[in-house]
Chains A and B, each alone.
Chain A
Amino acid sequence: MRKLLFAAASVSVLAACGGAGDGSDSDASGNQSSVNGTTSGASGGTIEAGDDFALRLQTALIEAQPGSTITLPAGTFAMTDGLTLDVDGVTLRGASPSETILDFKNQMGSGEGLLVTSDDVTLTNFTVRDTKGDGIKSKGADRITYSNVKVEWLGEPSEDNGAYGIYPVESTDVLVEGSHVRGASDAGIYVGQSDNIIVRDNIAEFNVAGIEIENSSNAVVNGNVVRNNAGGILVFDLPDLPVMGGNTTLIRNNLIEDNNTRNFAPPGNIVASVPSGTGVIIMANEKVMVRDNNFVNNQTAHVLITAYSQDFSDEDYNPLPRNIEVRNNTYGESGYNPQGDLGELASLIGGNLPPIIWDGVTSWGGNDETDVNIFINEPDSVGFVNLGLGSYPMDVSAASPSMDRPAGESIGAIPTVKLSHAE
């Protein structure tokens, strides 16, 4: 107790001295700029527009009290470094995505525009623009909400754009709703290594992948508009990661349209293998339901179900998609201009591809064939092809395409995802 009192006394006395340096700060070998010396105030409240906006905002994010709201004003604000938030329960709220814009085109450091590492955070009503790396990343940030947020890269889709727009990872209870992502050179909305996820009512456009659920479980992707990407919605499971065994995803009631943008991902990334013009891709995952979606004009295929395509050594990894059901979707034109490896395969079956494609891989690594249960629960009028590749690693020259649907059975209803922090 005595020590605490002493500390309080010395702090208050020192504060009374006031004064922030002597202010004279020019020197041939270096000018000092943008140093914040104050520690008072800024626990929540409104950040006023004006000088040192980025500095004052970052200070507020550091000094925020748990549960407080930080309000951003209308305006376009130049950022030179990534912002970070590590206080639980903070809401960061702008005026609206069209009015409050955090502009990172002159960003000099950090791998993303905003990094959230605390729980129970809400991000809403602002835009993050032209970050050098990812847009907004939240890592180990449970019960996070992205609502009415925009992340965009201006101009034509470009390899130079950042990888992910909205990027929650290693989190439990993730809500991304009413948001808009444009121009990501990987996935617009990417949820990785997470559990209990709702992605709903967003717009994802002109990204390489519109929405990607990767190495995650219990996800619902519902009511989104996914258009003009190279690939619309991806559900992937990848090897050699701390969290694997992606499973249980429902893709429902989405408009998946015109995903014919060229694939502009830098090579090496898994999405670089996505054929332009693909609506939904399910790769190496378990228990995925694709139902009640509206597929419109995807030039390669509306639904592609495939094994992991690259080499791996991870003994705990299963590269096959299994327990997949596709039902009651609406299918517009597709398959008229198939891209990538599928373009080559298309020539084997007359040039065009049907809307639903399965690679037909049922074994890997010398293992026996397994019952992967791919259930195409659609009217016979909906075209399907089994490429008949048989085993992983895949050899395109071994294809023996068949229009026969595999004998599958319904995987039943995907349980409703209930988030602990939102309806």
Chain B
Amino acid sequence: MRRALAACLALLLPACGQQQVPAGPDLALILAAGPAETLADYGLFADASARQPSAGVVPYDLINPLFSDHASKHRLVYVPEGEAAAYRGGEDVLDFPVGTVLIKTFAFAPDMRTPAEGERYRETRLLIHKADGWAAYPYVWNEGETEARYAPAGAWLDLAYTDPSGTPVEINYRVPNQNQCKTCHQLGDAIAPIGPKARNLSHEGPLGVGQIEDWTARGMLFGAPGNIDAIANVHDASLSLDARARAYLDINCAHCHRAEGSASNSGLWLGWEEQEAVRIGFGKHPTAAGRGSGSGTVVIEPGAPEASIMVYRMDSAEAGVAMPELGRALIDDAGVELVRAWIEDMPSEN
């Protein structure tokens, strides 16, 4: 044992000064009580700039991502060798085993109409399934993109870029602090992933193959049936407004607006599977909205988006009004338009 330790020390010492990274995911570090100082320490990538995933670290994406100021998000998952996630139903996040790491890097390019050109990594968030539950750690990249350091208190980044509609924007981009990570990822007293629900993964991902089938073939996932209903793509205009809007609310709102979430006390629950009209906002008066209610008296007023608090809060970037409260400095104009059209299209009750 002692010899093994000495060997590992010898291996690590040369790392000082030259940013060497471990060969492959370091499960001991992944499962350690606290976070590693830098992203590279985990060995999830073969290079310090985190462009080349280590063996066993698999890129994926979601049909519908959360809006985050138009950031490009590069997602990867690491499931320890010999372990596998369990399918729990299309509506549920996969049951990832202890040792799983979900990696999400937020990147911006000078012109987000061509997001790959001149792309810069800004922050990487890790969700790690420790032995006693999930932990969330934010890492912030240096300017040279040679190192991402643990930043428990988050950061403000001054960013300027052209948004996908061609409009130049300058924002104070917020890297959330570690507790803010938990605010969105809260599930009762624990924290949990939000995005990788089976139905939100069920399409061809960045590797060009069906993700559910691919993960199953890799041995990372078991129990998934052959054809899982995919969630409606919010940008697919061929689908119904209702399906698209509900899918939008599901990924952008329901992580807090559900019984186990940070906004549980609002009684406004916006998950895809919610059926009760008043919980979705129909005829629902605000509980603690304050000036976030604008001039509206109900969350959704059918046929009248301008009188619906939901639209008012989505269409604001001001702290104290804006929803979601965390994770954006900009308004998601496309999302606002979608929800506006959805409410407009509803038969008025008057």
User: Distance in Å from the Cβ of A25 to the closest Cβ of chain B?
Assistant: 4
Q: State whether the Cβ of A124 lies closer than 8 Å to any Cβ in chain B.
A: no
Once the chains bind, are A21 and B5 in contact (CB under 8 Å)?
A: no
Once the chains bind, are B153 and A58 in contact (CB under 8 Å)?
A: yes
Which residues of chain A are within 8 angstroms of B41 by Cβ–Cβ distance? 10, 14
* A134–B311 alpha-carbon span in the complex (Å): 21
Once the chains bind, are B290 and A133 in contact (CB under 8 Å)?
A: yes
User: Distance in Å from the Cβ of B57 to the closest Cβ of chain A?
Assistant: 19
* A363–B159 alpha-carbon span in the complex (Å): 59
Q: Which of A104-123 contact B (CB under 8 A)?
A: 107-111, 115, 117
Which residues of chain B are within 8 angstroms of A268 by Cβ–Cβ distance? 285-286, 289, 293-298, 309
Q: State whether the Cβ of A398 lies closer than 8 Å to any Cβ in chain B.
A: no
Once the chains bind, are A134 and B142 in contact (CB under 8 Å)?
A: no
Given A22-B142, A133-B320, A240:B267 Cβ within 8 A: yes
* A296–B35 alpha-carbon span in the complex (Å): 58
User: Distance in Å from the Cβ of A363 to the closest Cβ of chain B?
Assistant: 22
Once the chains bind, are B265 and A170 in contact (CB under 8 Å)?
A: yes
Given A62-B152, A314-B278, A84:B28 Cβ within 8 A: no
Given A10-B28, A117-B179, A133-B319, A32:B155 Cβ within 8 A: yes
Which residues of chain A are within 8 angstroms of B122 by Cβ–Cβ distance? 30
Q: State whether the Cβ of B150 lies closer than 8 Å to any Cβ in chain A.
A: yes
Q: State whether the Cβ of B1 lies closer than 8 Å to any Cβ in chain A.
A: yes
Once the chains bind, are A10 and B12 in contact (CB under 8 Å)?
A: yes
Q: State whether the Cβ of B49 lies closer than 8 Å to any Cβ in chain A.
A: no
Once the chains bind, are B153 and A55 in contact (CB under 8 Å)?
A: yes
Q: State whether the Cβ of B318 lies closer than 8 Å to any Cβ in chain A.
A: yes
Which residues of chain B are within 8 angstroms of A164 by Cβ–Cβ distance? 288, 290
Stretch at the interface among B71-79, B170-178, B228-236, B246-254: B170-178
Once the chains bind, are A9 and B8 in contact (CB under 8 Å)?
A: yes
* A241–B34 alpha-carbon span in the complex (Å): 37
Q: Which of B137-194 contact A (CB under 8 A)?
A: 140, 142-144, 146-147, 149-161, 172, 174, 177-180, 182-183, 186, 189
Once the chains bind, are B160 and A29 in contact (CB under 8 Å)?
A: yes
User: Distance in Å from the Cβ of B48 to the closest Cβ of chain A?
Assistant: 12
Which residues of chain B are within 8 angstroms of A20 by Cβ–Cβ distance? 149
Which residues of chain B are within 8 angstroms of A28 by Cβ–Cβ distance? 160
Once the chains bind, are B293 and A269 in contact (CB under 8 Å)?
A: yes
User: Distance in Å from the Cβ of B297 to the closest Cβ of chain A?
Assistant: 4
Which residues of chain B are within 8 angstroms of A327 by Cβ–Cβ distance? none
* A35–B161 alpha-carbon span in the complex (Å): 21
Q: State whether the Cβ of A373 lies closer than 8 Å to any Cβ in chain B.
A: no
User: Distance in Å from the Cβ of A106 to the closest Cβ of chain B?
Assistant: 10
Once the chains bind, are B153 and A266 in contact (CB under 8 Å)?
A: no
Once the chains bind, are B38 and A14 in contact (CB under 8 Å)?
A: yes
Once the chains bind, are B15 and A62 in contact (CB under 8 Å)?
A: no
**Number of residues from B at the complex interface, CB < 8 A:** 88
Once the chains bind, are A3 and B151 in contact (CB under 8 Å)?
A: no
Q: Which residue of A lies closest to B2 (CB)?
A: A5
Once the chains bind, are A17 and B290 in contact (CB under 8 Å)?
A: no
Which residues of chain A are within 8 angstroms of B267 by Cβ–Cβ distance? 240-242
Once the chains bind, are B31 and A14 in contact (CB under 8 Å)?
A: no
Once the chains bind, are B179 and A21 in contact (CB under 8 Å)?
A: no
Partner of B283, one of A17, A61, A131, A311: A311
Q: State whether the Cβ of A41 lies closer than 8 Å to any Cβ in chain B.
A: no
Type the 1/0 row for A265-276, where 1 means its CB is closer than 8 Å to any CB of B. 011111000000
Once the chains bind, are A59 and B262 in contact (CB under 8 Å)?
A: no
User: Distance in Å from the Cβ of B143 to the closest Cβ of chain A?
Assistant: 4
Q: State whether the Cβ of A378 lies closer than 8 Å to any Cβ in chain B.
A: no
Q: State whether the Cβ of B329 lies closer than 8 Å to any Cβ in chain A.
A: yes
Which residues of chain B are within 8 angstroms of A160 by Cβ–Cβ distance? 291
Which residues of chain A are within 8 angstroms of B9 by Cβ–Cβ distance? 9, 13
* A84–B183 alpha-carbon span in the complex (Å): 9
Partner of A36, one of B153, B277, B287: B153
Q: State whether the Cβ of B334 lies closer than 8 Å to any Cβ in chain A.
A: no
Once the chains bind, are A15 and B37 in contact (CB under 8 Å)?
A: yes
Once the chains bind, are B287 and A163 in contact (CB under 8 Å)?
A: no
Which residues of chain A are within 8 angstroms of B295 by Cβ–Cβ distance? 266-268
Q: State whether the Cβ of A103 lies closer than 8 Å to any Cβ in chain B.
A: no
A28, A30, A160, most chain B CB atoms within 10 A: A30
Q: Which of A127-144 contact B (CB under 8 A)?
A: 131-134, 139-140
Once the chains bind, are B174 and A14 in contact (CB under 8 Å)?
A: no
Once the chains bind, are B278 and A39 in contact (CB under 8 Å)?
A: no
Partner of B152, one of A5, A36, A163: A36
Q: Which residue of A lies closest to B328 (CB)?
A: A109
Q: State whether the Cβ of A292 lies closer than 8 Å to any Cβ in chain B.
A: no
Q: Which of A79-116 contact B (CB under 8 A)?
A: 80-81, 84-86, 107-111, 115
Once the chains bind, are B265 and A193 in contact (CB under 8 Å)?
A: yes
Once the chains bind, are B325 and A59 in contact (CB under 8 Å)?
A: no
Once the chains bind, are B120 and A30 in contact (CB under 8 Å)?
A: yes
Which residues of chain A are within 8 angstroms of B266 by Cβ–Cβ distance? 241
Q: State whether the Cβ of A338 lies closer than 8 Å to any Cβ in chain B.
A: no
Partner of B287, one of A32, A81, A115, A241: A241
Once the chains bind, are B325 and A17 in contact (CB under 8 Å)?
A: no
Q: State whether the Cβ of A367 lies closer than 8 Å to any Cβ in chain B.
A: no
Q: State whether the Cβ of B29 lies closer than 8 Å to any Cβ in chain A.
A: yes
User: Distance in Å from the Cβ of B94 to the closest Cβ of chain A?
Assistant: 25
Which residues of chain A are within 8 angstroms of B35 by Cβ–Cβ distance? 39
Given A7-B31, A15-B37, A84-B177, A108:B154 Cβ within 8 A: no
* A106–B277 alpha-carbon span in the complex (Å): 38
Q: State whether the Cβ of A11 lies closer than 8 Å to any Cβ in chain B.
A: yes
User: Distance in Å from the Cβ of B56 to the closest Cβ of chain A?
Assistant: 17
Q: State whether the Cβ of B26 lies closer than 8 Å to any Cβ in chain A.
A: yes
Which residues of chain A are within 8 angstroms of B293 by Cβ–Cβ distance? 266-269
* A6–B151 alpha-carbon span in the complex (Å): 23
Partner of A109, one of B4, B17, B189, B319: B319
Q: State whether the Cβ of B284 lies closer than 8 Å to any Cβ in chain A.
A: yes
User: Distance in Å from the Cβ of A247 to the closest Cβ of chain B?
Assistant: 18
Once the chains bind, are A36 and B31 in contact (CB under 8 Å)?
A: no
Partner of A27, one of B4, B143, B174: B143
Once the chains bind, are A109 and B28 in contact (CB under 8 Å)?
A: no
Can you sample 9 A-B contacts with CB below 8 Å? Answer: A17-B15, A37-B37, A62-B152, A131-B320, A134-B290, A159-B291, A238-B285, A240-B267, A269-B293
